[in-house]
Amino acid sequence: MIPKHVVDEVRVRADIVSVISATVTLRRRGSSWVGLCPFHNEKTGSFNVIPTKQIYHCFGCGAGGDVFTFLQKTRGVAFIDAVKELAAQTGVVIEERQLSPEETARLNRRKDLYDTCEAAARWFETTLLVGRDGAPGRAYLEKRGVTLDTAKRYRLGFAPEGWNNLENHLRKEGYDLDLLLRAGLIKKQEERQTTYDVFRGRLLFPITDDRARPIAFGGRVLPGADKEAPKYLNSPGTEIYEKSKVLYGLSYARNAVQRKDRLIVVEGYFDAVSLWQAGFEEAVAPCGTALTAQHLEMVRRLTTKVVALFDTDEAGINAALRSLELFLAAGVQAMRLDLPGAKDPDEYVMKNGAAAFEERLTKTEPLLELVIRRVLDRHGASAEGRARAVAELVPTLRKLSGTVRDITIRRAAGWLGVPEDEILREVGRAPQDAPQTPAPARWTPDKDLAHLIWLVVHFPNEVKPIMATVEDPGLVSDRSDVLQAIARCLAGQTLPDVLAWAETDAPDIARVLASAAASPDLYRLEAAAFACRGILAGMELRELDARIRRITREIEHGATTGDKSSYMSRVVESATLNARRVVLQKLLNRKARAEG
């Protein structure tokens, strides 16, 4: 286990804003940074990063934690891996503890695959740039107008003809056969019990993860190759690569996407490379697959504005149509762009230049409008045709919900030329889902407790002496986890440490603590102690009033039964409680005047 002081040092050195900005587009708002939450679909940013507290919190879904939690949730890595990654970036040395055999095997397997893919990328790259065998690749890039700088930027490579070139090189470097097989770089010929390189006679596009590490490859065959060979060949899925979760070029495009608040999605690797070279650095491409919900989840964290540049042939149009439901469900504004006289963006830029492409970007149309136009073309613009068009679109619209559905229906009604109510009526006829058991309500503190927690989170030193005077913790809360969280804060534990405990043992409390840390200033430092006294007075006053009401009933009962001793003891107790009530009420009145 990594020592706590080392974890704390990594947390302090890591810039949580910079780490999260690699995934979420953030904009400064006061002392916090705000963006669209990566953990739920939203239109308005409610995701807050608070660098002074070293935490993040979403007011929409309640997700929160520290920089390690963020990496765990967004990358799917274990805590120890998140700490190690940030330690390497911040220069903190971690002395390894004795890992279990399972942990060691898992870490080594993934590390070995990353190392193997990096070694393969280096060999492909060197072969293309300086190797004699890379001449066909260099000639092809020159023909396509790809410069040397661009090739270096994307680490393009070349796999020469030959069955075992890469395998022989990597085996000499110490990589064993099983590792090359697991990395998807070679295949086994079962009948002959031999192996061969997956990529031969192809230009190579390294596919990288969000840290720009090669994890797979896409290979483009050169002109004049065997006609039976597929134009593009992609790495198979591995322990570190799932094509449905990776977009080619995103690690290079991220900064441009955040700067321009726009992402350009193209179909091919060459399209993304060509657009980057032309100055459109926000271009990415799927890795030999159609767009997926996972792709758009990654995109939505960075921007909600996407320009889809699918090929203009029938296959490209159909791909655009199939992607519409995904865009709508993800809450991403998808725009469609036609490129007259060119099959794809690479060809358009080669023919017309960057300025012409920039001008075309001003002529985008909503992808939904394209779909509706295609539907109307099939059914005609008559009343009956529009009705059939509505019927065809309804299944798509029924898959949407909330604001996204309302906006989409409104736009569809305008483009179809039919009343919005008509579409709403048809969508409303969808079969109802089976009733679901409602999720248990999340615990929420009342106003006084919420304010007290805020004070404990922001000004623990100022309120600690006042909290020490509380004789009955039950006045504060009847939940032991609330009291434990308050005690941890007052004991000097850092907020990330308290949140780490609460995430496991008291998730409701973790949400409330993170919300308090991310909330705007409720009290000034100099007013914290007085505010704390006032809140505790209000809590005690409520308890006091309940006791006074109970005693009053007992006094009335004693008067009717003639129990004189009981009657007198209750009268004395009532007088004592009322005297205390006067003191508390005065304190509350002073607090109200100070806040008013």
Residue 580 pLDDT > 60: yes
DSSP code per residue over 481-492:
HHHHHHHHHHTT
Are β-strands 263-266 and 283-286 bridged in parallel, bridged antiparallel, or unpaired? parallel
The fraction of the chain above a pLDDT of 70, given in percent, is 91
Smallest CA-to-CA distance from 421 within 409, 431, 435 is with 409
The pLDDT-based confidence of 431 (bands split at 50, 70, 90) is: very low
The pLDDT-based confidence of 430 (bands split at 50, 70, 90) is: very low
The fraction of the chain above a pLDDT of 90, given in percent, is 34
Q: What is the pTM of this model?
A: 0.66
Q: C-alpha angle 244/246/325, rounded to 5°?
A: 50
User: What class is the 101-241 domain?
Assistant: alpha beta
Among the residue ranges 91-100, 421-430, 442-451, 540-549, the one predicted with the least confidence is 91-100
Q: Amino acid letter at 53? A: K
Q: Where are the domains of the chain?
A: 4-90, 101-241, 245-363, 371-427, 447-595
Instruction: In whole angstroms, give the CA distance from residue 125 to residue 147.
Output: 14
Question: How large is the average pLDDT for residues 172-192?
Answer: 91
For the domain 245-363, what is the CATH code? 3.40.1360.10
Residue 372 phi/psi, 5° resolution?
Answer: -65, -40
Residue 433 pLDDT > 70: no
pLDDT: is 245 or 572 the higher one?
245
Q: CA of 583: how far to CAs of 470, 534, 571, 577, in Å?
A: 16, 11, 19, 10
Contacts of 488 (CB under 8 A, 6+ apart): 497, 498, 501
Residue 170 pLDDT > 70: yes
Q: What pLDDT, on a 0 to 100 scale, did the predictor assign at position 64?
A: 86
514-549 pLDDT per residue, tens: 888 888 778 888 889 999 989 998 888 888 887 788
Q: What pLDDT, on a 0 to 100 scale, did the predictor assign at position 356?
A: 95
Residue 326 pLDDT > 90: no
pLDDT: is 208 or 338 the higher one?
208
Q: What pLDDT, on a 0 to 100 scale, did the predictor assign at position 342?
A: 87
Contacts of 487 (CB under 8 A, 6+ apart): none
pLDDT: is 214 or 496 the higher one?
214
Instruction: In whole angstroms, give the CA distance from residue 580 to residue 582.
Output: 5
DSSP secondary structure letter of residue 174: T
Question: How large is the average pLDDT for residues 146-154?
Answer: 95
Q: What pLDDT, on a 0 to 100 scale, did the predictor assign at position 162?
A: 93
For the domain 447-595, what is the CATH code? 1.10.860
Q: What pLDDT, on a 0 to 100 scale, did the predictor assign at position 591?
A: 67
Residue 254 pLDDT > 90: no
Among the residue ranges 30-34, 223-227, 555-559, the one predicted with the least confidence is 555-559
Question: How large is the average pLDDT for residues 470-492?
Answer: 87
Question: How large is the average pLDDT for residues 183-206?
Answer: 93
Contact 317, 243 (CB under 8 A): no
Contact 247, 285 (CB under 8 A): yes
To which residue do tokens 């934690």 refer?
65
Sign of the CA dihedral running 486, 489, 493, 495? positive
Q: What pLDDT, on a 0 to 100 scale, did the predictor assign at position 49?
A: 92
497-512 pLDDT per residue, tens: 888 888 777 788 888 8
Question: How large is the average pLDDT for residues 291-301?
Answer: 87
Contacts of 156 (CB under 8 A, 6+ apart): 125, 128, 137, 141, 146, 150, 203, 204, 205, 206, 273
Q: CA of 332: how far to CAs of 38, 81, 422, in Å?
A: 13, 31, 25
Are β-strands 232-234 and 64-65 bridged in parallel, bridged antiparallel, or unpaired? unpaired
362-406 pLDDT per residue, tens: 988 888 887 787 888 888 878 888 888 888 888 878 877 677 678
Question: What is the homologous superfamily of the domain 4-90 according to CATH?
Answer: Zinc finger, CHC2-typedomain (3.90.580.10)
Q: What pLDDT, on a 0 to 100 scale, did the predictor assign at position 211?
A: 81
pLDDT: is 306 or 328 the higher one?
306
Q: What pLDDT, on a 0 to 100 scale, did the predictor assign at position 29?
A: 86
Q: Provide the greatest CA pair distance for the chain.
A: 114
Residue 595 tokens read as 């806040």
Contact 266, 247 (CB under 8 A): no
Residue 366 tokens read as 């909503």
Q: What pLDDT, on a 0 to 100 scale, did the predictor assign at position 97?
A: 58
Instruction: In whole angstroms, give the CA distance from residue 582 to residue 475.
Output: 18
The pLDDT-based confidence of 567 (bands split at 50, 70, 90) is: low
Residue 230 tokens read as 């597929």
Residues composing the chain: 596
- In Å, how far from its chain's centre is CA 474? 39
Q: CA of 219: how far to CAs of 118, 268, 429, in Å?
A: 16, 11, 48
DSSP lists the bridge partners of residue 306 as: 263, 334
Q: Is 32 exposed, middle or buried (0-12, 13-18, 19+ CB in 10 A)?
A: buried
Instruction: In whole angstroms, give the CA distance from residue 182 to residue 19.
Output: 30
Residue 232 phi/psi, 5° resolution?
Answer: -120, 140
Q: What pLDDT, on a 0 to 100 scale, did the predictor assign at position 104?
A: 64
Question: How large is the average pLDDT for residues 25-50?
Answer: 86
Q: What pLDDT, on a 0 to 100 scale, did the predictor assign at position 563?
A: 60
Smallest CA-to-CA distance from 219 within 120, 290, 309 is with 120
H/E run at residue 48: strand 47-50
Q: What pLDDT, on a 0 to 100 scale, did the predictor assign at position 98?
A: 56
Determine the number of helices (DSSP H) and then strands (DSSP E) in the chain. Answer: 26, 17
Report the chain's mean pLDDT, rounded to a whole number. Answer: 85
Helix, strand, coil percentages (3-state) for the chain, rounded to 5, are: 60, 10, 30
